[in-house]
Structure 1
Amino acid sequence: MVTDSRERMVRSAAYLFRERGYSGTGFRDVIAHSGAPRGSIYHHFPGGKAELAEEAVRYAGEFLNAGIQAAVEAGDATAAVEAFVGWWRHVLVRSEFRAGCPVTAVTVEAHDDAPQLASAAARAFDLWEDTLATGLGNAGVADDRAARLARLIVAAVEGATILCRAHRDVRPLDEVVAELKSLVAASV
């Protein structure tokens, strides 16, 4: 029961960071969204908001990576790109372009007083890149090229997501995906 409350708070923080960012999300927001008991947040996160954010970034990174992993297991390199992008497309449209990536939201607001947030974000991005690179390698892309393509995919999709939010349109993401798929297909 206690772990469930902690997990709900972590998921809620990740969800709220997508729309409000790190600075725009307070403990009260997380409590209200998660339905967790009021005093439990300090019990589970004695390190404060930075500790909660670090856990939310880890959760978001692993959640998205599970989808990437499932796609790369099929051995189709372009399917991995589609899986990574499909999630963001869904989030953008469903939220009417209010929600983005919680990892990016925490990254751009990381402060010197909480260096663990940048480290947590780097680990999430690295996880996605490693999973994509493995999938690209299994599909026949040379290892060094697979690693560079994986980084390009993550950077391009994260950037395209930001453009989509600004323009309130999925076209930037669709255009980036078309180019990425062409690059990946040419590399196999």
Structure 2
Amino acid sequence: MAENTAATSATSNTAPTSSQGEFYLRRATADDLDAVMEIIEQARAVLARDGIPQWQAGRPNRGEIAQSIAKKVTYVYMSPDGRVAGTASLVPGPDPNYNKLYAGKWIEPDEEYVVIHRVAANADFKGMHMGSRLLDALIEKARKLGYPQVRIDTHDLNGRMRHLISKAGFTYVGKILIHGDSYNSRRAYQLLL
């Protein structure tokens, strides 16, 4: 989650402006790739500065984000003036990384779910609670899509993201391993809708 980085201007020329002057969530398009990558790089820098190894091995990279956009699972949170204020992916399960939970158990293990990945907020909107607003918008989108639960994970050291996840109403349920690698363990959370 990147809310404390140097300001930049992630924009999208194709975004409509909300007539009510409100922020809104929409699916990302190929035209959003540069803005999304700029925000991802902001987040990567904040994580590095804070000594958090998450996102430091070159992932997510431009190719992965482009593929995620093509699969229609990446979203952008748009400001009323058409700037990308945040980004995340909302990926239908099952996610292989969530198959085995360590030191805990899923609340509703057999229910269909969607996973929130790659949450990042544009530093231009620092102080406006973009992380919380983005998570709330994603949860509402999952609810409208009919998912009975949402899952999310973050690195143990990412206290900023852990706070946002808890504030959004998620329950900590245990740990997962990313690609089965014990070096890449993450705290897993679940929210029943």
TM-score range, shorter chain: 0.3 to 0.5
TM-score (ref. length: structure 1): 0.32
Bigger Rg over Cα: 1
When you count helix as a share of all residues, which structure comes out higher? Answer: 1
When you count strand as a share of all residues, which structure comes out higher? Answer: 2
TM-score (ref. length: structure 2): 0.32
